[in-house]
Structure 1
Amino acid sequence: MIPMPSDPLQGLRQAIDRVDDELLSLLNRRAALAAEVGHLKTAAGPEALFHAPKREREVLARLEAENGGPFPAPAVRTIFQEIMSACLSLEKPLRVAFLGPEGTFTHLAARHQFGGSSQSLPQGTIQAVFQAVERARAEYGVVPVENATEGAVDSTLDAFLDSPLRICAEILLPVDQALLLRPELDLGAVRRVYSHPQALGQCRRWLEAHLPQADRIEAPSTSEAARLAREDAEGAAVASELAAELFGLKVAETRIQDLAANATRFLVLGPKAAEPTGRDRTTLLAMAQDGPGALLHLLEPLARRGLNLSRIQSRPTRRKLWEYAFFLDIEGHAADAPMAEALAELKGACASMKVLGSYPRAGEM
């Protein structure tokens, strides 16, 4: 037995160092096993599934259940997601397209879902994210679909009208907006505030109360807003604290959004459907037949089977004047018997219908 030093604090630090060494050794053992898995998958051919979300869910659920503390339970998922992301990169780098540039909330959502070792592919538009996955330049895509304050992201809904992609997961990310300034700038000297229209809308009341003298200028993204603020001697940006780090700005104020519990829902796009988990959501794209009670006929098969409709949104199809498509979020998986029966009935009640995906509800991928 190794004798403890006379200084108790020093002894504890040395014990922590020994545990860290053991952790590092175990991580490298896990990485070596993951590399072997990668070799087997490569030998199986190009159709082998390198990323297995179901397997990841099972591993995370088991580890969370077995954690007896005092290590904090939420940190178990975060740390092991990063470990699995790093090990997967040894098998095959996972390419994830997202609405960029880096530093946006969509970038944060992608990192939250796939870990920091995934290969980030920032795209300039939501349509470009769809195209990157459709053309196999990325295995997955991440796009925003709705915000608690500002509502639906129409560009995402419109992109689904002609896309073959499926929704394979959703991410619910708390969105804390910050006011970013150049280090030498004071709040009273700000004459322009840059941000994405959604972010400006989320902070409307705060900006009116604290920066009434400043013009609001729309930018393609919150990250681009931070870049513009860095170049403007009298400019500020509404963006994430990560954007402040990336662009060398100071965080003048935090949590300036009007709704304290502000959050944005993101969708994960992929070429394949997700397997049932028992806690799923299904998104449909439906075009109701023209005539009285069309929407009622669309909803009746769901209500009759006790299926919970959590969201409905309409968008013009842009193919025919006054023709609308309905996006419906329903709790349950398309493979569940009540849902399967409802979908079969809905096909007869709709001019057209497409299941965009059945996927784990937020936090369950």
Structure 2
Amino acid sequence: MELEELRKKIDQIDARLVELINERAEVVVEVGKFKRRSGSVPVYAPDRETQVLSKICELNKGPLPDKTLVAVWRELMSGSFFIERPLRISFLGPEGSYSHQASMKKFGQSVDYLPLADIRGVFDEVARGQCDFGMVPVENSSGGGVVETLDAFLETRIMICAEMEMPIHHNLLAKCRLEEIEKIYSKPEVFAQCRNWITENHFEGKIITEASTARAAELAAQSDNCAAIGSSLAGRIYGLNVLYEKIEDKPDNVTRFLIISSRDTPKTGDDKTAIVFTTPHKPGALFDVLGVFDKYDINLTRIESRPNKTRNWEYHFFADINGHKTDENIIKALEKLHDRTIQVQILGSFPRYTGETD
């Protein structure tokens, strides 16, 4: 076929796609009406999202890769949120932060976003009902746990309803050429993760720490001789060129994010449950707790401790376990934990992140 004929064929298919997408949207309108009548079904349901995206991957026979169709369907679902009721998502700002990037990857372009100055603020806005969901970082494969997020769970009753992981790539952003750079702004953790590149290019004496990578990009945009290390999204937002991509020392650097809400998620069959417990200050206390998980054949996938701010030498332990809080073995295990701990709290059950629907 000639090129013009192929383009006409694409135009015809596009017309059919637009018709089908809007036909789908009409059903979404009916779904929204049902949810408003019931009053108990949330606009965004992580369990339903998992089902839809998994099904799309199963149906895909190529030649497009799964991730392309998943990206399309995420935007369709984002538009669906807008039709049902616009969602408001809070995140650790400013705009252009990695939390902002993760939020857009998860919820798409058709929702309202609220950047906040600190992680506790993200929790507070969800608790007040001013935001439907919040996006918070909880751990990085290079830097470990995010203590501000862990502490906020101790101080609020917000639940985890979903999780996601996102590769973190640091980029050198500037309006000038490399040899013209006099200062480089970024977070201390980012400088630590890009130490090799900074040393190789002799920038050790030019780094200036800021509270966030987005703030760093904002400052770099105000000067002709300054740069920032941050996300490509920050570069687009603040009008900076990407001089060097992926300058992090560890190329497989990943941050795990949690989506927080006033409720957790129904069982999907492939779930995780997050808990926090406090052990008495006595020999073997943690060993006794771990024995409960072993007894009920529960896989402990993560454990991290935080000191109790009110009592010296007492610790809170954050743990992720495979399974849903409604599973029989987890119910029994949590009952046993009450006898072996000072307190135990469920932070939420949610679909286990597998990366298959990214």
Q: TM-score, normalised by structure 2?
A: 0.94
Q: Does 1:126 align with 2:119?
A: yes
The equivalent residue for 2:233 is 242
Give the conservation status (yes or no) of the 8 Å contact 1:172–1:266.
Answer: yes
Farther-moved stretch of structure 1 (163-172 vs 330-339):
330-339
| 1:355 counterpart = 2:349 | no
In the other structure, the counterpart of 1:143 is 136
Q: 1:19 aligns with which of 10, 13, 28?
A: 13
Structure 1: gaps of 5 or more residues: 1-6
Question: Which runs of 5 or more structure 2 residues have no equivalent in the other structure?
Answer: none
Rounded to whole Å, the distance in 2 between the matches of 1:45 and 1:333 is: 25
Corresponding position of 2:4? 10
Partners of 2:301 and 2:39 in 1: CA distance: 38
Q: Distance in 2 between matches of 1:293 and 1:364?
A: 39
Greater shift in the superposed pair: 233-242 or 138-147: 233-242
1:330 aligns with 2:321: yes
CA-atom RMSD in angstroms: 1.7
Matches of 2:44 and 2:217 in 1, distance apart? 34
Which segment drifts farther, 48-57 or 102-111? 48-57
Residue identity opposite 1:73 in structure 2 = D
CA distance in 2, matches of 1:160, 1:140: 15
Partners of 2:270 and 2:352 within 8 A in 1: yes
* SS state at 1:319 partner: coil
Letter in 2 for 1:21: A
Aligned residues: 356
CA contact (8 A) 1:161 1:317 kept: no
1:259 alignment counterpart: 250
Q: Shift of the alpha carbon at 1:104?
A: 1.1
SS at match of 2:312: coil
User: Relative to 1, partners in 2 of residues 1:197 and 1:32: Cα closer, same or farther, differing over 3 Å?
Assistant: same
| CA spacing shift, 1:256–1:88, aligned 2, 3 Å | same
Q: TM-score, normalised by structure 1?
A: 0.93
Of 100, 113, 116, which aligns to 2:106? 113
The aligned counterpart of 2:27 is 33
Question: 1:46 offset after TM fit, Å?
Answer: 4.4
2:162 aligned partner: 169
3-state SS of 2:208 partner: strand
C-alpha distance in 2, partners of 1:233/1:75?
A: 37
**Percent identity for Structure 1 against Structure 2:** 38
Q: Give the match's secondary structure for 2:250.
A: coil
Q: Mean Cα displacement is larger for which, 268-277 or 303-312?
A: 303-312
Structure 2 counterpart of 1:28, one-letter code: N
Q: Secondary structure at the match of 2:342?
A: strand
Which residue in 2 is equivalent to 1:307?
Answer: 298
Distance in 1 (alpha carbons) for counterparts of 2:178 and 2:53: 44
- What is the aligned counterpart of 2:57 among 64, 88, 92? 64
Distance 2:346 2:213 in 1: 32
Summarize deviations over 1:300-340 as a string: whole Å, max 9, x none: 11123332222211112212223221111222222222222
Pick which of 347-356 and 106-115 moved more.
Answer: 106-115
- CA–CA distance in 2 between the matches of 1:25 and 1:303? 54
Kept in 2: contact 1:142–1:269 (CA 8 A):
yes
Q: 234-243 vs 63-72, which deviates more?
A: 63-72
Match of 1:344 among 335, 338, 344: 335
Contact 1:176 1:256 (8 Å CA) reproduced? yes
User: How far has the Cα of 1:70 moved from its partner?
Assistant: 1.9
Counterparts of 2:40 and 2:331 in 1: how far apart (Å)? 28
